[in-house]
Amino acid sequence: MITDKQSGFLDTLKMERVRTILTYTYPYPHEHSRHAVIAVAVGCLFFISSDNIQTLVEKLDNNIKWWSMYACLFGFFYFFSSPFIRKTIKPSYSNFSRWYITWILVAAVNHLPSFLSMGVDLRMNLSLFLTIYVSSIVFLLVFHIIFYGLWYIGLVSRVAGKRPEILTILQNCAVLSVACCVFYSHCGNRAMLRERPLDRRNSNWFSFWKKEERNTWLAKFLRMNELKDQVCSSWFAPVGSASDYPLLSKWVIYGKIPCNGSCPGSSDKISPIYSLWATFVGLYIANYVVERSTGWALTHPLSVEEYEKLKKKQMKPDFLDMVPWYSGTSADLFKTAFDLLVSVTVFVGRFDMRTMQAAMSKVHDGNQQGDLLYDHFSEKDDFWFDFMADTGDGGNSSYAVARLLAQPSLRALKGLSVHTLRRADLLLIGGDLAYPNPSAFTYERRLFLPFEYALQPPPWYKAEQIAVNKPEVPCGAELKQYIGPQCFIIPGNHDWFDGLQTFMRWWIFGLDLALHGDIDVYQFKFFSELVKEKVQEDDSVIIITHEPTWLTDWYWHDATAKNVTHLINDYLKGRCKLRMAGDLHHYMRHSHVKSDGPVHVHHLLVNGCGGAFLHPTHVFSKFEKHNEVSYECKAAYPSFDDSRRIALGNILKFRKKNWQFDFIGGIIYFILVFSMFPHCQLSHILQHDTFSGHIRSFFGTVWNGFIHILEHSCVSLAGAILLLIAAYAFVPSKVSRKKRAIIGILHVSAHLAAALILMLLLELGVEICIRHKLLATSGYHTLYQWYRSVESEHFPDPTGLRARIEQWTFGLYPACIKYLMSAFDVPEVMAVSRSNICKHGLQSLSRGVAMTYYASVFLYFWVFSTPVVSLVFGSYLYICINWLHLHFDEAFSSLRIANYKAFTRFHIKSDGDLEVFTLAVDKVPKAWKLDPKWEGETKHPQQLSHMRRFPSKWSAATSHQDPLKTVKIVDHFVIERTNKKDSGNVDKEPVQ
C-alpha cells in the first residue's frame, strides 16, 4: 500500500524523470564526430606505418642542410607552442595559436623536400583537403538549413534541439576531408583495380573468419604493403561506375584510367576520392537524421541520480586567474596606469574621501570619536583577532586564505606539535582588496566572491543596499551584542586609485597612508589626541599601516612616513609593541636587538600573503636597522633560499605565465630588424666548407647588421632608441644614472642581438630554398596552379561540371579555392618578393606587394621571436633579482605565484600577553569541488553561517591538498604585557 506521501514522492520522481528526458539541458555530444576523429587518426597511423621503416629511412634526404632546416623549423614551432601544452591559459588564445601554427607550419613544409619518401605528397593532400573542405562545408550547410526548415514546420522531433554548433560542422568537414586525403594519398587510383561487386562475394577478406584461413590472413597482416593494397582495392573501392547511375552520371567526377602508358578512350569509372567523400557524407547525414529525429535525449536518457551526479560534477567555483601584469592587451592594466597617474599627480586623487568623512563627522567631538572608535570588545578577557593583507588577486589563493579564516577552529602543525586555534572574533585587512584597480567588477569577483564562498553573508545582507550605520546589525541590536565575526579594512594604494569611491587595553591604530606614504594632518591630530586622552602608560599599542615603510625606505634609500614616526617616537614613547603592514606579499618579522637606547617599536611584521602574487624575501635579507634601533630577522616566509630558487622561474616560465606578452614582444623584435629585410648578401655564409667557418661568417654578419642599423636604417634605429629609453626608465631609480645606463644598454643589446640572429636564420632558410629551386619558381599562386594541372590529369570532367559550377556561382568557384590555397603560399610570396627586391630594389614593388611581403615575413618572424624575447626578458629579471637585488616587484609579479599564502592570528590572553601565530599553506589548490560536508550539513534559513560546523562551500578537488590539511605555523612568538614596575621586560620566543 502506497501512502499519500509516498505517492507524492513517486509523482515528483516521475515528473523529474520526464523533465530530465525531455529537457535539452546539456550539450549534444556529437558521438559521430568523436568516432570519426578516432577512425581518421587510426587510418593515418595505419597507412604511414604500412611502408617499410628501413626503406623510409633510406629514402630520406641525407643532406645536412635539410635536416638542419627541419630541426630549426620544428624546434621554433615547438618553443612557440610549448606554453600551451598542459595549458593554464585562456582557451581562446590557445586555440588561436594552435590554428596559427598549423597554418604557417603546413605552408612552410609544403615547400620543403623529403616528404614524398613517407608516401605523403603534401601538395596533393593540401590542395585536395582545401577543395573537399570547401565543398563539404557548402554541402552540409545546405543540408542543415533544410533540416532546420523541417524542424521548424514540425516534421522532425523538437526534443533534442534544433541545430548543431557551427564549429561542429566545421570540425566534421575537416575530419571528412582529412580522411579522404589520407585515403587518396596512399591508395590513389589503385582502388579502381578491383573485382566487380558481384564477383567479390567469395573474396579472401571474408576468409578471415574461417579457422583454416586464419594463419594466411595473419601473414598478410604482417606484410603491411599487401594489406594496404587489399584495403585500397577492396574496402574503399568505388561502388559501381557512371553507367550504373545514369541519372547522376553528369554529376560524377571521373577518375583517371589506371594503366601504364597511354590509355585509349575515356573512363566511366567513378573517382575513388569522390566515392569515398559521398560515402562519408551519406553516413554523416544518416547518423545525424537518426539521432536528431528520434531525439538524443530519448535514446540516451539519464536517471535522476545520474543527472544529479553529473550536475554536481560540473559545479565548480568561477574564480578568476591571477592578474596578468605583463599583458599588452589588458584594458584593466591601462586603466590602472591612468588611475595611478591621476591619483598621484592631480591633488592626491580625484577627491579625498577622508575630507568628506571628517566634514560629515564634525557635529560634536563626542559623536566624532563615537563614530571612529569601536571598543565593543573591551570587556573581553580573552580575545582573538586575525590580520591579513593584499587579497583579491587570484581566486584560488584568495579563497584558500578565506577558507582558513572562516573555520570554527584550525589544527596547525608547528614542528612536531599540533596547535588548535579557534576562529578570531575580528578580522583586520591591511589594504589592497582587489587587483589591479578598484572597480565594482574587481571587488565583486576578486574579493567578495571568494570570501562569500568561505563564509556566506547573514540573511539580512542585501547586496544592492548600503549600510548607513557601520557596521549594520539586524533588528536595531547593538554591536556589542553581535557575536559573529567582524571585519575592518584599511585602504591600500590600489584601493586609492579611484579616490576610495568604491571602498581595549590593547589598542590597534589603523593608519591610512593614502598615496603619500604618510598620514595626513587630520589623522595625526586624531591619534595624537587619542594617545593623550585614552592610552594609559601601561597600555600596549599595535600600529597597522598599509605599507612597511621600514623595509621600503631601507630598500629605496628614502625616508617617508615622518608623521607616523613622530607619532610613535614622541607620543607613544615605547608603548608600540608591534607594527604591522601588508603591501609586500611575503611574511617577515624583525624583532629588536637589546640595546642601551630606547626602543620605539619592539616588533616589525610584514604579512601581505592574503591572496596576491608572491614577493621575494631574500632581497630584504640585509635589513637590520630602523630609526637607529637594531633588528634581527626572526622569520621569513618563504625562506631566503626558497625565494632565490623561485626567481629561477623567470627563465623557465616567463612566457607560460605571461603569454599575453607575445603581442608586445613579437612586434618589438620585428621593428628592431624591420630595416634589415630582405638581407640579400648571404653567399659568404653558405660558401664555407667548415662548420666553424659558417659560424664565424654568421656572427660576423650579425655584427655588420648591427652597424647597418646604426648607420643607415630609420625604422630599426628609431625602435632601438625607444627601447633603450624604456629600458633605462625600467631600471629602479635607486641605482645611479651611470649604472642604469649600463644595465639598460646591456639589456637592449641582448634583445637586438637576438632579433638580428633570428632575422638572419629566417633569411638563410629562404635563401637555401631559393637556391634549390624550392621557392621563387612560379609566382604567387603556385599551389593552385599545380592543383589545376593535377586536377585536369587525374580528375577528368567529360560532362563539363566544373565549368557549369563556375558559371552558376559567378566565378566564386574556383576563385574562393584559389585564394584559399594562396594562404598556404606564404613562403612563396615571401621568396618571390625577396628575389625581386634583391634584383631590382624595393622601389620596383608596388605598395600593396611590399606590404604583402612584410606581412608574410612577420607571420614567421613573430613565431620565431616571441619565445626568444620572453627568454631574454625573463633572464634579465632573474639576473637583476638574484644578483643585483633589483626589480623585486617586476621579477615576481611576472611569475603570478598563487602559492605561499598566510595570515596572522593573534590571541590576547587573560593575563595580558599577546600570543602571535602566523599560519601558512605552501601550495594552493588549483581545482575545487563542492564540499560534501558543507552540502550534507543541515541548514536553517535564519541560521548564521558562522554557527555552522562547515561554513565553506568548496573544498580542494584533491583532498590531501586542502588548506585545512596542509596549514602549518611558520612563526610563533609571545609579546608580554607591559608592567609598570618592570618596564624592561623582554619579549620571549615560545619553547619548541
pTM for the full predicted model: 0.80
Question: In this predicted structure, what is the pLDDT of residue 303?
Answer: 58
Q: How many residues does the chain have?
A: 992
Report which of 319, 449, 401, 356 is spatially closest to residue 607, judged by C-alpha positions: 401
Report which of 435, 462, 432, 431 is spatially closest to residue 446, judged by C-alpha positions: 435
Examine residue 814 and say whether the peptide bond preceding it is cis (omega within 30 degrees of 0).
yes
Decide: residue 379, CB within 10 A, 0-12 exposed, 13-18 middle, 19+ buried: exposed
Report which of 909, 907, 911 is spatially closest to residue 969, judged by C-alpha positions: 907
Strand partners, 929: 955
Alpha-carbon gap, residue 916 to 488, rounded angstroms: 19
Residues of the chain whose pLDDT is less than 70?
Answer: 1-41, 43-67, 85-92, 114-121, 154-165, 188-231, 233-240, 257-267, 291-314, 328-372, 437-438, 463-477, 491-505, 507-518, 979-992
Look up residue 727 and give its amino acid: A
- Is the distance from CB of 376 to CB of 471 less than 8 angstroms? no
| CATH fit for domain 353-362+383-461+482-638+900-975, picks 3.40.140, 2.60.40, 3.10.170, 3.60.21 | 3.60.21
DSSP state of 810: T
- Is the distance from CB of 101 to CB of 77 less than 8 angstroms? yes
Q: How many CB atoms lie within 10 A of CB 340?
A: 17
Helix intervals (H) in 534-621: 549-556, 562-567
| 868-872 contacts, C-beta under 8 A, 24 or more apart | 868/669, 868/754, 868/758, 869/661, 869/665, 869/666, 869/668, 869/669, 869/751, 869/754, 870/654, 870/655, 870/658, 870/661, 870/662, 870/665, 871/651, 871/654, 871/655, 872/750, 872/751, 872/754
Decide: residue 399, CB within 10 A, 0-12 exposed, 13-18 middle, 19+ buried: buried
Helix (H) or strand (E) holding 935: helix 932-936
Decide: residue 932, CB within 10 A, 0-12 exposed, 13-18 middle, 19+ buried: exposed
Strand partners, 974: 915, 988
Could you state, in order of their start, the residue ranges of all structural domains in the chain? 353-362+383-461+482-638+900-975, 647-886
Q: How many CB atoms lie within 10 A of CB 821?
A: 22
Helix intervals (H) in 50-121: 53-59, 64-81, 91-109
Look up residue 835 and give its amino acid: S
Alpha-carbon gap, residue 929 to 875, rounded angstroms: 38
Backbone angles phi, psi at 461, to 5 degrees: -75, 135
CA 15 to chain centre: 43
Residues 6+ apart with CB under 8 A from 493: 431, 432, 515, 546, 547, 583
Look up residue 693 and give its amino acid: G
Q: Count Cβ neighbours within 10 Å for each residue of 822-841 and write b for 16 or more, e otherwise.
A: bebbbbbbbbbbbbbbbeee
Report which of 180, 167, 188, 190 is spatially closest to residue 130, judged by C-alpha positions: 180
> What is the distance in angstroms between the CA of the first residue and the CA of the last residue of the chain?
68
CA 236 to chain centre: 44
Question: In this predicted structure, what is the pLDDT of residue 207?
Answer: 43
DSSP state of 155: S
How are beta strands 540-545 and 506-511 bridged, if at all?
A: parallel
Report which of 719, 761, 733, 726 is spatially closest to residue 747, judged by C-alpha positions: 726
Question: In this predicted structure, what is the pLDDT of residue 857?
Answer: 94
Q: How many CB atoms lie within 10 A of CB 988?
A: 11
Alpha-carbon gap, residue 62 to 65, rounded angstroms: 9
Cell, residue 384:
582573538
Alpha-carbon gap, residue 111 to 827, rounded angstroms: 8
DSSP state of 457: P
- Is the distance from CB of 299 to CB of 291 less than 8 angstroms? yes
pLDDT tens for each residue of 521-574: 777 888 888 888 888 888 888 888 888 999 999 999 988 888 888 889 888 888
Report which of 99, 106, 177, 184 is spatially closest to residue 138, judged by C-alpha positions: 177
Backbone angles phi, psi at 253, to 5 degrees: -90, 120
Cell, residue 939:
541548514
Report which of 338, 123, 291, 224 is spatially closest to residue 778, judged by C-alpha positions: 123
Question: In this predicted structure, what is the pLDDT of residue 347?
Answer: 42
Alpha-carbon gap, residue 874 to 665, rounded angstroms: 12
- Is the distance from CB of 494 to CB of 439 less than 8 angstroms? no
- Is the distance from CB of 607 to CB of 587 less than 8 angstroms? yes
> Going edge to edge, which strands form the sheet with 540-545?
506-511, 540-545, 576-581, 601-607, 587-592, 629-637, 625-626
In the three-class reduction of DSSP (H, G, I as helix; E, B as strand; rest coil), residue 224 is classed as helix
DSSP 503-523: ---EEEEEE--TTTTS--HHH
